[in-house]
């Protein structure tokens, strides 16, 4: 829960400022929409393949890769102002959003007491996602 809270705080700058960031790069609105679409498309692909990926490498290994993905993606946005690099970084949305949520919900469900999976997931979402999002939004 703590890792997801911190990860959510870290990615809120992306959600709050990404459109402004790419505006400052001179990207027109059509490309801006396409950049967001690339992120969403990669998320959908990850949702489709997440079950087979977690079976192959395990939930905890994928969770570690997701955290690394957040660092790499954030670093790319901080260092590269080239439009095609930004589009490539958007593909990491599959790790930094979709896979992250899938794996953490699976971890929470597995660790929850018998019959309390729903309560555990709700508590996790409220604290890690809601709280982390609120703190991250406030800090940005």
Identify whether 86 is part of a domain.
yes
Using CA of residue 35, residue 12, residue 74, residue 76, what is the dihedral sign? positive
Q: What is the pLDDT of residues 88-127, one digit of tens each?
A: 999 998 888 888 888 888 888 888 898 898 899 888 889 8
Q: Give the Cβ contact number of residue 56 at 10 Å.
A: 10
Number of Cβ atoms within 10 Å of the Cβ of 79: 9
Structural domain contains residue 7: yes
Tell whether 120 is covered by a domain: yes
Name the domain count of the chain: 1
The answer to whether the CB of 11 falls within 8 A of the CB of 132 is no
Range of the domain at 25: 2-135
Q: How many CB atoms lie within 10 A of CB 61?
A: 13
In a domain, 103, yes or no: yes
pLDDT at res. 60: 85
User: Is 140 inside a domain boundary?
Assistant: no
Q: Would you state the pLDDT for residue 129?
A: 82
32 close to 79: Cβ distance less than 8 angstroms: no
> Residue 105: which residues within 8 A CB-CB, separation 6 or more?
121, 124
Q: What is the pLDDT of residues 18-68, one digit of tens each?
A: 888 888 888 888 888 999 999 999 999 988 998 899 899 998 898 888 889
Q: How high is the pLDDT of residue 10?
A: 83
Q: Is 112 within a domain?
A: yes
d(CA 77, CA 35): 13
Q: Per the confidence metrics, is the pTM higher than 0.95?
A: no
As a whole number of angstroms, the distance between CA 24 and CA 29 comes to: 12
> Rounded mean pLDDT of the chain?
87
The answer to whether residue 108 sits within a structural domain is: yes
């Amino acid at each position: 829960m703590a890792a997801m809270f911190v990860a959510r705080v870290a990615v809120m700058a992306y959600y709050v400022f990404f459109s402004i960031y790419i505006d400052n790069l001179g990207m027109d609105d059509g490309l801006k929409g396409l950049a967001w679409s690339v992120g969403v498309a990669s998320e959908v692909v990850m949702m489709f393949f997440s079950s087979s990926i977690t079976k192959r490498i395990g939930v905890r290994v994928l969770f570690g890769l997701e955290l690394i993905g957040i660092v790499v993606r954030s670093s790319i946005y901080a260092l590269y102002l080239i439009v095609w690099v930004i589009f490539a970084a958007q593909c990491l949305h599959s790790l930094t959003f979709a896979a992250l949520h899938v794996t953490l919900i699976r971890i929470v469900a597995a660790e929850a007491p018998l019959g309390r999976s729903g309560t555990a997931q709700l508590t996790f979402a409220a604290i890690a996602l809601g709280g982390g999002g609120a703190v991250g939004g406030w800090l940005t």
